[in-house]
Structure 1
Amino acid sequence: MERYDQLYRLYEEYDTETLRAYQEFVDLFPPVDSRVALDHWQNAREDLDERRDEIRAEFPQVGETFAALAAMATREQAFTALNLYTKYDRGVNVLVLDVDETLRSAGNTDNEIPRETLHLLTRFHDEGMPIVICTGQTLENVKGFLIQGLGNRMVHSGRLSIVYEAGTGVFTPGHGADTKQLLYEDLDPAIRDVFSRVRSRILPDATETIRRGCHLQGNEFNVTLKPNFETGSERADAVIDEGLVYLLDLLEESVAAVAGAGAGAGDGDDGPTAEGYGRAFYAAQDPEIRGVLESTGEQPDADLDVVPEAYETLFERIDVAYYEADAAEIGSLELNKVSGVEAALDVLGIEDPFSLVMGDSKSDLRVMEWAAEHGAGIAAAPGHASRDVLDHVLSTDELVFDRGDAAELLRMAYALRRLADLD
């Protein structure tokens, strides 16, 4: 109770709002070649130091931590952090962060990671916090914007790891032979053969609408159709819906070729043809896929109970993901963000993780559930996350933040870490 009383007194007796404004100005003030501007920055820095010194003097033994809390976290963020520390008796020791619609948002931040968020990540890193960036994007894309936003030194420091393509690979610069791990190379030949067949045919065999309206994302393993139109637009929505149906049928044909025509495939002049087994299986697995098939009039003729066992065995190991007006994708269920995160933590040497997991989609939910099951962290999500993600977050610690405002939860995590360090 003493810590609650101390924290209450801190936010009651001190103008922490002004203190945070000074801290934000000092941290985010852009470099300019102006003596007047630099003098203004120096004055703000001196005022900030004076206010922090007052808090240091007033709170013996915890003054440095409380000065940092007052400058970095709102009252609500600080008390949320204290409640979490009381509940878990641990501070966050690693960040596990999705990128799109989590760290950045096309809706609020022009699809750029805000400067405030980048600065907070830099602060965490400089204070020794390992960071795992966990995304469905390609490695080259992620490396590009991270180096641009965080700097080459930080990305190659050895304390930052990138789980890319939703877990098919892990890149952790500065770790010798473990720097790049191609997790998909450990899959058995049958699964790799299915993906190779899909990749080789997906654009050459597509309809003209799909060939003109989509491109293949440059993944190392996953197969992802992306629209050639603005994400979220009506044209992107239509072509991705058509692409999803096509991808389901092409996946079925590839599974048939690998499983063998004797499994029940119909054989045309050009090899196996789709019988609707892929549509039936994945419609039963995912209500979003079922909704697309219904809205496009492409419901399967086959029922789930007639899907050949050899097909089902392979289908059960392959994930089909649909992102409305954004992407249609296949990936391995044996390789997901959880397997990638586990590999990243191993390389980073984090044996007892307690992570802040932030994300918005089904692939992020798997990491959140893994963290909850293993006592390995807490979960946070933006308010526009998928329903299943929000249900999980609201049922655990209710860490929901506004679109484009990941900094809110990062500040709370910073407060949690500093409070835990007091003990």
Structure 2
Amino acid sequence: MERYDLLYRLYGNFDADAVRDAQDFVDLLPPLGSPVALSHWQAVDDELTAKKDRIRRALSDGDRYAELAARATRDQAFTALDLYTKYGRAVNALVLDVDETLRSAGQTDNEIPREVLHLLTQFHEEGVPIVICTGQTLENVKGFAIQGLGNELVHSGNVSIVYEAGTGVFTPGHGSDTKRLLYETLDDPVQSVFESVRGRVISDLPDALRGGVHLQGNEFNVTLKPNFETGSDDAEEVIDGALVYLLDLLGEALTDDPAGPDWARAYFAERDPEIAGVLDDRDALPTSEAAEIPDDVRRTLERVTVAYYHADAAELSAVDLNKAAGVRAALDVLGVDDPFVLVMGDSKSDLDVMSWAAENECGLAAAPEHSSPGVLEHVRETDELVFPRGDAASVLRTAYALNLLVD
């Protein structure tokens, strides 16, 4: 109980909010060119040092608690201590989704906040590897990662990018392991399905979808995205249509039997209530039962995934290529042999990573409050690290505080 007592003293006897505000000012608003700005920054920095010194002198292990005051709110610090009591481990890798997790179209103008970027830099300076785990293409991710974190950090050898939801892993600075193309491990029947669908997906677009969707520039996955604002009514309409179209293309790639598209609809409708709901809304429910699917067709269907992201994307991917597989490969390249990761994400693809971490007792899961229901259920049943939309910094601060508390 000593550490709980010290936290009560820290946040009860000292103005920790003022310490944290000063630290944020010093970190996020560095000295500017004008003498007045420089003078003000220096004054705040001097006062921050004095406030930390008072904590250091008053508390045993004062360096640790002065830094806690500067980095975490009272609630974040106590949550971190609860996590330390439960797990007794520091986070030794960050696994981070980007869209609607680190950044939010509704709350952060689709930019990763400066506070978040600075916290990631702090973790990096402490030697904690960063795995960016996203459905986006590699070039997109590399672009904003370098812009936000800097070329030196991204190419430090301690950052890995899992792109296209596990299709490949890019870890600069690791020689022949710098880029692992995980889709090359798939067998020929699965690869041929993807070649067929990709070869037809644009040329055979129905008139109702032309001008409304585009093919994301993936290396392997087939992803249709809306030409409208994500989440809008127009985006919902075209993505719902794109889902039905993608299922039918898949069915035609699986077999020459005319029932192929109906079998593909039946298979995924049985497994995903969201897909079943879209098919129902569009009067496109299958006439076949999933049990009627021939064994050879079913065996291939079991190797592929059709994912639906409401008013955002319809995607064909491989079962063996998911974010969890990509994260395992990234941690292997990074040399994280005994992982205890912080997984932050909002979608069903992120749930794969969260479930892997929970099943293997190798990490924590956190999610924004607008995440998909399955993600929220998992996070609330584990460590309840649910944060407001656009506020990924709050969980990163909690994880940083956890690491400060671990001896």
- Aligned position for 1:39: 39
Structure 2 distance, partners of 1:275, 1:388, is 28
Query: 5+ residue gaps in structure 2?
Result: none
Q: Secondary structure at the match of 1:284?
A: helix
| Alignment partner of 1:374 is 2:360 | yes
Shift, 1:324, TM fit = 1.0
2:117, 2:149 within 8 Å by CA — same for their partners in 1?
Answer: yes
1:381, 1:390 within 8 Å by CA — same for their partners in 2?
Answer: yes
**1:135-165 CA distances to partner (integer Å, 9 max, x unpaired)?**
0000000000010000000000000000000
Shift, 1:30, TM fit = 5.2
Shift, 1:230, TM fit = 1.2
Structure 2 distance, partners of 1:340, 1:210, is 32
Structure 1 distance, partners of 2:31, 2:234, is 42
- Aligned position for 2:322: 336
Taking the TM superposition and a 5 Å limit, the aligned residue runs for 1:206-225 are 206-225=205-224
- Aligned position for 2:100: 101
Structure 2 distance, partners of 1:29, 1:393, is 34
- Aligned position for 1:270: none
Query: How many residues are matched?
Result: 407
- Aligned position for 2:284: 298
Letter in 1 for 2:282: T
Letter in 1 for 2:206: T
More divergent stretch after superposition (245-254 vs 308-317):
308-317
Structure 1 distance, partners of 2:386, 2:124, is 23
| Alignment partner of 1:72 is 2:58 | no
| Alignment partner of 1:351 is 2:337 | yes
- Aligned position for 1:394: 380
- Aligned position for 1:7: 7
Shift, 1:275, TM fit = 4.5
1:275, 1:302 within 8 Å by CA — same for their partners in 2?
Answer: no
Structure 2 distance, partners of 1:295, 1:130, is 44
Shift, 1:309, TM fit = 1.3
State TM-score, norm by structure 1: 0.95
Structure 2 distance, partners of 1:311, 1:206, is 24
More divergent stretch after superposition (43-52 vs 273-282):
273-282
Shift, 1:389, TM fit = 0.5
Shift, 1:29, TM fit = 0.6
Shift, 1:208, TM fit = 2.1
2:31, 2:41 within 8 Å by CA — same for their partners in 1?
Answer: no
**1:358-405 CA distances to partner (integer Å, 9 max, x unpaired)?**
101111111111001111101110000010001001111111000000
**Pair 1:277–1:357, CA change in 2 (3 A):** same
Q: Secondary structure at the match of 2:209?
A: helix
Shift, 1:211, TM fit = 2.5
Taking the TM superposition and a 5 Å limit, the aligned residue runs for 1:180-195 are 180-195=179-194
Letter in 2 for 1:153: E
Shift, 1:210, TM fit = 1.6
Letter in 1 for 2:159: L
Q: Secondary structure at the match of 2:131?
A: strand
| Alignment partner of 1:246 is 2:245 | yes
**1:320-348 CA distances to partner (integer Å, 9 max, x unpaired)?**
11011110001001111111000000111
Taking the TM superposition and a 5 Å limit, the aligned residue runs for 1:18-57 are 18-29=18-29, 32-57=32-57
- Aligned position for 1:409: 395
2:343, 2:363 within 8 Å by CA — same for their partners in 1?
Answer: yes
| Alignment partner of 1:147 is 2:146 | yes
**Pair 1:282–1:120, CA change in 2 (3 A):** same
Shift, 1:82, TM fit = 0.5
Structure 2 distance, partners of 1:165, 1:31, is 39
Letter in 2 for 1:127: E
More divergent stretch after superposition (300-309 vs 38-47):
300-309
Q: Identity over the aligned pairs, expressed in percent?
A: 63
Q: Secondary structure at the match of 1:298?
A: coil
Structure 2 distance, partners of 1:277, 1:345, is 38
- Aligned position for 2:123: 124
**Pair 1:48–1:216, CA change in 2 (3 A):** same
**Pair 1:275–1:348, CA change in 2 (3 A):** closer
- Aligned position for 2:111: 112
Q: Secondary structure at the match of 1:353?
A: coil
Letter in 2 for 1:378: L
Q: Secondary structure at the match of 1:163?
A: strand
Shift, 1:284, TM fit = 0.5
More divergent stretch after superposition (209-218 vs 104-113):
209-218
2:30, 2:41 within 8 Å by CA — same for their partners in 1?
Answer: no
Shift, 1:407, TM fit = 0.2
> What RMSD over aligned residues (CA atoms) do the two structures have, in Å?
1.0
Shift, 1:64, TM fit = 1.2
- Aligned position for 2:165: 166
Q: Secondary structure at the match of 1:226?
A: strand
